[in-house]
Amino acid sequence: MGLRKVGFGSILDEIKQAEEDVWTPNFSTVIECELCHNKLYYHELILEGRVLADACECEAIKIRPFPASIAQYEHFLGVYWDGRYPKIYEIPYEEYLKTRQ
């Protein structure tokens, strides 16, 4: 076993390491329209902390912010649809990146 520091110095080192770590997602949520088969990706709906007004080509799916009153977020994403229920599933983040290239 390696040596472990104790005291405030150890805590500050752990905080510094956590701040330097870059988080990468494991999955990306996909919302697929059953009518036009258009796919909306979660990572494209959010841009710099604001919700984009984005919908599928046939406008059967609408994405709108839903206010969050007791949460650390300003809002949640609400998925609204007309007609058939959309498919909502997750794909690996690496697969999502391949679709964007």
Query: For 71-90, what is each residue's pLDDT tens digit?
Result: 777 777 888 888 889 999 99
What pLDDT score was predicted for residue 5? 64
Name which of 62, 99, 100, 97 is nearest 78 in CA terms.
62
Average pLDDT over residues 83-100: 90
Query: For 31-64, what is each residue's pLDDT tens digit?
Result: 999 988 888 888 777 664 555 555 677 888 888 7
Cut 0.75: pTM above it: no
What pLDDT score was predicted for residue 17? 77
Contacts for 97-100 with beta carbons within 8 Å, 24 or more apart?
99/41
DSSP one-letter code for 39: E
Can you tell me the distance from the alpha carbon of 55 to that of 27, in angstroms, rounded to the nearest whole number?
A: 21
Token pair belonging to 20:
């330097």
